[in-house]
Structure 1
Amino acid sequence: MTDLTEHLPRLRRYARALTGDAHAADDLVQDTLERALSRFRLFRPGTRPEAWLLSIMHNLFISQVRQRGTRPQTTPLDEAHAMPAIRGTEGDRLALRDLDRALAQLTPEQREVLLLVSLEELTYEETARVLGIPVGTVMSRLSRARDRLREILAQQSGPGPAHLKVVK
């Protein structure tokens, strides 16, 4: 298995998406790494380490949510710690805000699948393993999440520009 530190950015990003809080995300990453190191013997050679780590993180997060008995809060994507390669424009910030609001309206199950497949670039099989669900469920949730996201974004953008009548 490779050095675990190379997986920190991905773990932090997913933890932030799950918890909605930078401090809680850092705690979740630390708990994930502690669990991975203490159970390293369970890692199966030939599998992707990031999928194994994300699976551990997901299971820890679910346990924490169950213990608290609450649903996680979401954090706007524009508050993420990632440094952009190019300075964004005001339009980019507005688009990111709209996307964040749309993601927050998805069910947690749909949001998890969408983020793992689209953002973390896991395969359907890896996503199924991480979430502990069948591949067909991953495909179904992903399809519903994409459809719902399109619908929400279309509603946010409004009916489009008004057509003006030319008066002479």
Structure 2
Amino acid sequence: MSSGTEHEDHFRRVYAVNFKALLAYAMRRVEQPEDAADVVAETFLVAWRRSREMPPEAEARLWLHGVARRVLANHHRGGARRGRLGDRLRQRLRVAAAVDPGSEVPERLTVRAALAQLNELDREVLTLTFWEGLEPREIATVLQVSPAAVRTRLSRARTRLRELIGDDLDPGGHVLDVMAERVPKEGR
């Protein structure tokens, strides 16, 4: 028999003799049976990789339990990390869910429909102002017109948009509330 075959035979015997004991060991230390199966699989993978270090069959059981103990420690650390990540994600979802995005849909659709009825330049001035947060002098640079022309265009576009939308939308923190605010005067 070759050394490789003896080595594989030794591993198979150790596996057959110790599998059930290691599975029971792992099941008593994890919450889910699937996790126990993973721990045992990882334990035997480590044992296979380090099989040249594995003691004779009589002592292999204790050595495998030591490997399983370290695999379990890694499993629990990973679970703690996953738990902390889950907590952070749940917190973010709670914050995001506090504002129901569906509640804004009708108002957004109304605004988009009204914007679609404006001419291209009016629509561009409004969206650059309210969605992009640009000031009239910045919009003037983008559109290659004077800041005064932008202010005039913005005033007219807001009036046209108000006429199309009306004032009957619920003022619940949506885009229209922002549009009703005064644009700060800028220095010339």
TM normalised by structure 1 equals: 0.39
Largest Rg, 1 or 2: 2
Higher normalized contact order (CA 8 Å, seq sep 6+, divided by chain length)? 1
Structure with higher helix content: 2
